[in-house]
Amino acid sequence: MQEPQELTSGFRFDHAFGPIYGWFSAQGLRALELPGSVHGVRSGAVPHLSEDDERVRALIAALDRYFSGEPESFDDVPLDFGACTAFQDRVWRALRDIPWGRTETYGSLSERLGYGARASRAVGQALGRNPVPLVVPCHRVLAGNGLGGFGAGLAWKRELLRLEGIEV
């Protein structure tokens, strides 16, 4: 587990569902909060807006591309997961391997990570604690019998999947 870095900059990105807020530490993106998130990382605190931070400008440009329907991987966004467990870190990093327009189930993700299907619930719990949804695409992981959950609500999950051409 790594020591969390102090937050250095942030931004607001306006979306039809409401504002998306993000925070960077010196190491990378620490939090991305979608409107309606029940697991608000910063409890709705407005970040210090930092348009002079190149990482902020690059992420805002990537969000513009993504919400315009252009495939966007967010691979160039540096991350800072802060104080997380080794299991969470491993699960969150594996999510970045699920490409635009594709999905995986909790069970298949658990098996891909070598934990077997028995750990699919633990994988789901790790996804629910993902501090940077969208950039780390937990919305691409589905339950074996449907959508599953999403910290910002199922309307968001459906919208993100729809943007990527996935009908659920």
Q: Which single residue is written with the structure tokens 């950039």? A: 135
Phi, psi (rounded to 5 degrees) for 18 = 130, 175
| Annotation says 138 is catalytic | yes
Contacts of 43 (CB under 8 A, 6+ apart): none
> How far, in Å, are 32, 49, 72, 103, 153 from residue 37 at the CA level?
10, 20, 22, 21, 7
Q: Quick check: 19 and 12 in contact, CB under 8 A?
A: yes
Q: Which entry of 138, 152, 161, 163 is annotated as an active-site residue?
A: 138
What is d(CA 12, CA 96) in angstroms, rounded to the nearest whole number?
23
What is d(CA 23, CA 47) in angstroms, rounded to the nearest whole number?
7
**Residue type, position 135, single letter:** V
Enumerate the active-site residues: 138
